[in-house]
Structure 1
Amino acid sequence: MTRYYTKHKEVGVEWSGFTYPKIRKKLNKNIEWTNTCYAMPSSDGIFQVQDRDYQFIVDIKEKKCDCRRWDLTGIPCAHAISCLRHERIVPEDVLPECYSTASYLIAYGHHIRPCRDKSVWEKVNAAEVLPPVYEKRVGRPPKSRKKQPIEVVGPSGPKLSKHGITMHCRHCGDARHNRATCSLRKAGVRPKLPTKRNLV
């Protein structure tokens, strides 16, 4: 692949080379990390790289590595650079075209013209854009997230939610009300509840 090296001067900094400074800085950092990598060729551009106590498989033709840094960013990782060194390939030659200085200048080469004062803007018959209506909620705002039932731990272990459980009154034993709202208790009537022996 033929690389065209350009020079560009911006804000007192001279750019030279194929890649712009930010990507070159990341690439140089990966080159420093290759000191702990040892590449062993297998076949057809596939290598096994030993990095301390870990092993990685690198395919320089498909531009893939088991660490997935090369796959996600397009910048060769330290394992890939160790394989490229074995094949006498310059790491900058495998970088995507989008990281080139020429692509950067094309993307950011257009000038943004400043806007005129608001008083001279042209008025149009369109709906006025307003900010969204803020609805203040009742009560104190929450300070922490809502925990799952398994996260609420009591003295004897995790507490389970009572959602879906039918409530029963302790006074009369009927469902769908409690002792405080029991009509028989308010009337002073003590119902005859079956004992536990009869329930067995």
Structure 2
Amino acid sequence: MSFPHFPGPRYNIDTSNCAEFLNALFENARKLSLLPMLDVVIDKMAEWFNRQMKDAAAGLSTRKLVPFVENKIHKRVPKGQKLIVTPLNTFELEYSVIGKDGKTYIVDLHQKKCSCRKFDIDRYPCALSIGADVKCLKHDRPLELSDMYDIISPNYLTKVWALAYRRTIYLVPHMSEWMVPKDIAEQCPLPPEYTKKGKNSGKKVSFGWRTWAPYQ
């Protein structure tokens, strides 16, 4: 079986193990029948959305980045300011930066890339990119860059974070309270009946949620 290639970022904060995480989280719920399992999933989603909404609204109004990225940038700025930066092409915003390991790296602020690959993958600047950005803002002052936030993915902005969780996840009411339009109910197909083999052979069983009955 072949699986489609996912070209998007799937590393670090943009994690790729969400399926494994959810499988472990709902390990017990997956043993339930369909509707009770969905109730557990929706309940957890409602809990997450509510918590994320409160976290996004908390904190200082001047905070522009989500806490994880803001803390990373705060730690990297002092390191980046000490690095040796050489302009290569100020029109294309390309810079050569000597890292703490003594190696030379190429930073492209226009393309938001660094040869160390951290900037490319995380979408927020590494210490090398921060060094180049400080040099750029101090001496070159390009029109497309007004501050360091311009080279950070907008996905990490607090306003985008709050926007992602702005909706309320409502729990599904009891089945007795469902109001299913007649035309929709008539269109809901049921699973086909089949003849059970073995001890109760010859008996027809249907697993449709409207006609379910336990084995006799």
Q: Give the alignment's TM-score, normalised by structure 1.
A: 0.51
Counterpart residue number, 1:86: 135
Q: Which amino acid aligns with 2:151?
A: V
The one of 1, 10, 14 aligned to 2:54? 10
Check conservation: 2:81, 2:130, Cα contact below 8 A.
Answer: no
Counterpart residue number, 2:125: 76
Counterpart residue number, 2:74: 28
- 1:63 deviates by 1.2
Whole-Å separation in 1 of the counterparts to 2:110 and 2:159: 25
The structure showing larger relative contact order (alpha-carbon pairs under 8 Å, at least 6 residues apart) is 2
Whole-Å separation in 2 of the counterparts to 1:100 and 1:106: 10
- 1:50 deviates by 0.7
Whole-Å separation in 2 of the counterparts to 1:93 and 1:74: 11
Whole-Å separation in 2 of the counterparts to 1:126 and 1:32: 64
Counterpart residue number, 1:55: 104
- 1:18 deviates by 2.2
Q: Give the alignment's TM-score, normalised by structure 2.
A: 0.48
Counterpart residue number, 2:173: 116
- 1:43 deviates by 2.1
Q: Which amino acid aligns with 2:136?
A: E
Check conservation: 1:36, 1:51, Cα contact below 8 A.
Answer: no
**Bigger radius of gyration:** 1
Counterpart residue number, 1:126: 190
Q: Deviations over 1:84-135 (max 9, x none)?
A: 1112263222212222222112211100001224666679663338xxxxxx
Whole-Å separation in 2 of the counterparts to 1:54 and 1:62: 21
Whole-Å separation in 2 of the counterparts to 1:118 and 1:30: 53
Q: Which consecutive aligned stretches of 4+ in structure 1 deviate over 3 angstroms post-superposition? A: 117-125
Check conservation: 2:88, 2:96, Cα contact below 8 A.
Answer: yes
Structure 2 residue runs of 5 or longer lacking an equivalent are 1-52, 138-145, 192-206, 209-216
- 1:31 deviates by 2.1
Q: CA RMSD in A?
A: 2.9
Check conservation: 1:18, 1:101, Cα contact below 8 A.
Answer: yes
1:66 aligns with 2:66: no
Q: Deviations over 1:2-57 (max 9, x none)?
A: xxxxxxx8358324332222221222233244266321212222111111321101
Structure 2 SS opposite 1:10: helix
Counterpart residue number, 1:188: none
Q: Deviations over 1:148-169 (max 9, x none)?
A: xxxxxxxxxxxxxxxxxxxxxx
Q: Which has the higher helix share?
A: 2
Check conservation: 2:106, 2:115, Cα contact below 8 A.
Answer: yes
